[in-house]
Chain A
Amino acid sequence: MSLKSIIVALATGVASIIATQSAIAEPDVKDWPAVLKEADGQTIYWNAWGGSAQINAYIEWVGDTLAEAHNIDLVHVKLDDTANAVATVVAEKAAGKDQGGAIDLIWINGENFASMKRQQLLFGPDWATQLPNWQYVDVENKPTIVTDFTIPTDGMESPWGMAKMVFFHDSARSDVKSMPDSADDLLKWAEQNPGRFSYPQPPDFIGSSFLKQVLIEKVADRSVLLEPVDDATFKQVTAPLFDYLDQLHPNLWRQAKAFPKDYPSMSQLLADGEVDITFAFNPADASRGIANQELPDTVRSFTFSGGTLGNTHFVAIPYNASAKAAALVVADFLISPEAQARKQDPNIWGDPTVLAIDKLDADNAAMFAKLDLGIATLKPEELGPSLDEPHPTWMSKIEQEWASRYGIAN
């Protein structure tokens, strides 16, 4: 054996030791007891939108439960825009901070997930489908659980809840029969009822979703939206959307010179009687509002018979998270029947479950059956078809176009 080959052998050996060592630092989700052991005593910083008091209280409950069960200290870092969390990870990667990052878990979907996945800022590969509670997840009937805005999740984010766009009105002020049944109807309705409708200012998530709803309804060929946006055809494809908005805006609340900040603000406007129609991504939001005495108990829900936007929201772990084991435990707890049932209770939050009830044992299924979804919540069969989210690139481009058309004073 020559000296050279010895050196090579030594170097390979050292390299492989280093490689194994850095591999040890990552928790192995297949060895769940080891994950639980490592998570014990960890502090986890969960970055999640903090604009809703009920959701914050639910996250607080998750923290309390896990503190007791697994000695995990959960800190909810409240965001007003999830892009901020992505920015933090980006900055950390740029500063070479590949370990010990500030964020352990992010509430995420759509463009933010796509951006993190593309920039390889996510913990992976596939961990979500290895979680013990994954067995209950309704992969078969809820396709958006594995395809997030046309992007395959590849197990790099774990589902948390289902979202579907639903509209609300106050039956004490307006008749349900007069409510619009499509984007075009809504335009006509707004002409007859000026100043009584608005949507949150994009890039607010719900506001952007309204734009997508209109775009999907108005676009000539829906299939182009599933592909990445093409700069050459963007103007032509989105022309119907912006024509629509040009017509709609003069009849919006405040003549579209100001917009509500987000959907809880719209809820307040509905309670005050400033607007007549609001919407949210949570079918039980009105029931939640009634239960919390924010809305009168005469508020009811409706959707469009042609379908409304539907998607799934997730949690993901940054590649440089400090407490990956604890993050895995939290993600797993979030899809446990106990946590999912509590989340679906309109007194708590009302967010629909990602689980398949028929996969649960009798006791757990009973927890869901027992839930009173609330007087203003539509039954699942009344919710109408779900429309697929466009490719995430559409969103950022539309938001830019929106900002340059309506986001600046003329």
Chain B
Amino acid sequence: MLRFFPAFALFILVVPVLCGLAGTMLPAFGYLPALGGDEINLSAYKALFSQPGIGHSTRQAFIIGLASTAISVCLVAGFVAAWYGTRSFRATQHLVSPLLAVPHAAAAFGFAFMIAPSGYLARLLSPWLTGWDRPPDLLIVNDPVGLALIAGLVVKEVPFLLLVTLAALPQVPAVKAIHLTQSLGYGRMAGFIFAVWPSIYKQIRYPIFAVIAYSSANVDMSIILGPSTPHTLPVRLVGWMNDSELSMRFMACAGASLQIAVTVGGLVAWLLIERLMASCLRMFTTAGYRLKRDGWLRIMASISMTASALIVFGGLVVLAIWSIAGLWQFPNALPNSLSLRSWNTTLPALTRPFWTTVVLGIAAVIISVFITIACLAREQQTGRSGGNRALLFLYVPLLVPQIGFLFGLQLLLLNFNASASWPALIFVHVVFVLPYVFLSLSAPWRAFDTRYEAIAAALGTSPWRIFLRVRFPMLLRAILAAAAVGFAVSVGQYLPTLLIGSGRFSTITTEAVALGSGGNRRIIGIYAFVQMMLPFIGFLLASLLPALFFRNRRAIKGL
């Protein structure tokens, strides 16, 4: 029975992506019989490239994807190099890690509420410092270059990259290497980058690729923070896909293939940058520079890391205040009055999306955890982990731009009358939740001390019972933690829910982004607050439940 699961997991990860890609590519070349397209031609591409500003939008998606990834990687590398092993490293790590659970849209709203000309930072400094009694006419959020979007992506990707870096660090003798390089007279950062970083980087390449794919093809953060004259390519694509003109579907699919090209281009560019950086690094290493005077750089690394976390946290607090604010005019730092009016009017409308989010998340997580455990158990049986290639498959749904295959998947499901149904929606969530659950759970599972199981087996216990009585309880913390990660991922999904749910299934996230276009800060505050509370509750349960179950088992309580 177990032997089928790795293949099944592979099916879930790869088949929707492949079918979706085919479903996108065929209409891009004019073939979609349901809409009257039954011959292969290039007219969709002609229409696409005659769109005003298409070159600009495309360039922007490319640049924003690369720039935000490069900045995030530099921040993480710099911070780890500067502070790994110190007490302030652990403190900052605890500050940054929870941000991983904050959905992209909520983080983007919080960020916008902080940095806008009428935002909280300006309010804090006005009018006593800036002299502004009205917000300055500065284009900060939605700027044409996309700086606000890049910054928003960076603050959201840094926690992710930091976490995967932390997971990679124990596999490398980092502390020893730091001591060695320091005894040879290298600066702390230089020593780390020369001796430790290359082997860490090797392990975090896939996550970095996923970040490139995500940030070049992102829709929800781009709607909130990105340029609007014109919008970035992915946002325009969703607009075309939803256009009332039938023929636009072909163009949208052609555009989706362009988006895939942009992401692939971004990945290729990144590989070139990798080479360049590697030879730079070799040059520096062999040149023997010690780069000892890095004190200011270390402080910069720490400040930028802390600031990126604080600005999101600050934004989330401001969101919460807005949700209960009465009249709150610029430049007041606090509202004139507080009122629950917005909550009262919004709560009835919030109930249905709330439960949709919860049910969807729990269903997707249960399925994903089940498949993951089955695959890992099979791996344990055979002793083969599938290695790097299996890992690549895990990353397939994260590396292909969502837009590229969700369009096709939506058209396919529509043909089978299966779109906008619970099974279809749960299925598409599993596609995105499964990789994260697998990545979170596989390390603790593989690190499990099998001698416990050997003893149990020696006492004559059946494998099934060994799993239930020994491994499962001992790994419950890890399993629940993986489930919480998966739930957070499901809560944050915007595009899959929007496209596969055909708008009939609204979750907190789709509602938040839709209302975000409405610009009512109180309502955005409410939705973003609920959106960020859901994953938080998930993680809270994941850490509290084991403590409750094992209150009389000191060694596994581990709180």
Contact = CB atoms under 8 A, between A and B. Distances in A.
A75 B352 contact: yes
Interface string B229-272: 11000000001001110100100000000000000000000000
A271 interface: yes
B397 to A, nearest CB: 24
Given A90-B244, A254-B137, A293 B327 contact: yes
A269 B415 CA distance: 44
A45 interface: yes
Interface residues of A, number: 66
Contact of A293 (B35, B243, B326): B326
From B244, B246, B339, B417, residue with most partner A Cβ within 10 Å: B244
B199 interface: no
A84 interface: yes
B511 interface: yes
B557 interface: no
B286 interface: no
Contacts of A87: 242-244
Q: Is the interface of B mostly helix, strand, loop or mixed?
A: loop
A403 B205 CA distance: 39
Interface stretch (A25-33, A47-55, A182-190): A47-55
Interface stretch (A15-23, A260-268, A302-310, A361-369): A260-268
Contacts of A268: 519-521
B34 interface: yes
A75 B353 CA distance: 11
A96 B511 CA distance: 30
Given A75-B352, A87-B243, A53 B342 contact: yes
B287 interface: no
A265 B519 contact: yes
A201 B134 contact: no
B230 A264 contact: no
Given A57-B345, A60-B349, A274-B117, A258 B134 contact: no
Interface string A144-174: 0000000000000000000000000000000
B139 A95 contact: no
Contacts of A294: 327, 520, 522
A95 B415 contact: yes
B85 interface: no
B522 A53 contact: yes
A374 B326 CA distance: 18
A102 B53 contact: no
A79 B345 CA distance: 19
B348 A57 contact: yes
A86 interface: yes
Nearest to A276: B134
Interface residues of B, number: 59
Interface string B101-120: 00000000000000001100
A271 B325 CA distance: 13
A79 B227 CA distance: 21
A264 B515 CA distance: 10
Contacts of B144: 257-258, 409
A64 interface: yes
A262 B518 contact: yes
A54 B345 contact: yes
A293 B242 contact: no
Contact of B118 (A54, A83, A272): A272
Given A53-B523, A293-B326, A258 B230 contact: no
Given A75-B504, A408-B53, A53 B329 contact: no
Contacts of B244: 83-84, 86-87, 90, 112, 115
From B326, B504, B519, residue with most partner A Cβ within 10 Å: B519
A253 B137 contact: yes
A292 interface: yes
Interface string B320-358: 000001111110000001010110011011001000000
Given A102-B502, A293-B326, A64 B517 contact: no
Interface string B208-230: 00000000000000000001111
22 contacts: A51-B517, A52-B518, A53-B346, A60-B348, A60-B349, A75-B504, A85-B503, A91-B414, A92-B414, A95-B34, A96-B34, A102-B420, A102-B503, A102-B504, A201-B229, A268-B521, A271-B328, A272-B329, A404-B53, A407-B229, A408-B56, A408-B230
Given A64-B348, A259-B229, 18 more contacts: A50-B511, A52-B520, A53-B522, A75-B352, A79-B503, A86-B244, A91-B246, A91-B249, A96-B34, A258-B144, A261-B518, A262-B518, A264-B520, A267-B520, A271-B329, A273-B133, A407-B229, A409-B53
Interface of A: 45, 47, 50-54, 56-57, 60, 64, 75-81, 83-88, 90-92, 94-97, 102, 112, 115, 195, 201, 253-255, 257-262, 264-269, 271-274, 292-296, 403-404, 406-409
Interface of B: 34-36, 52-53, 56, 117-118, 133-135, 137, 139, 142-144, 227-230, 239, 242-244, 246, 249, 325-330, 337, 339, 341-342, 345-346, 348-349, 352, 414-415, 417, 420, 502-504, 506, 511, 514-515, 517-523
A-B pairs, 9 with minimum CB distance = A265-B519, A408-B53, A51-B518, A86-B244, A404-B52, A195-B137, A273-B134, A272-B118, A293-B326
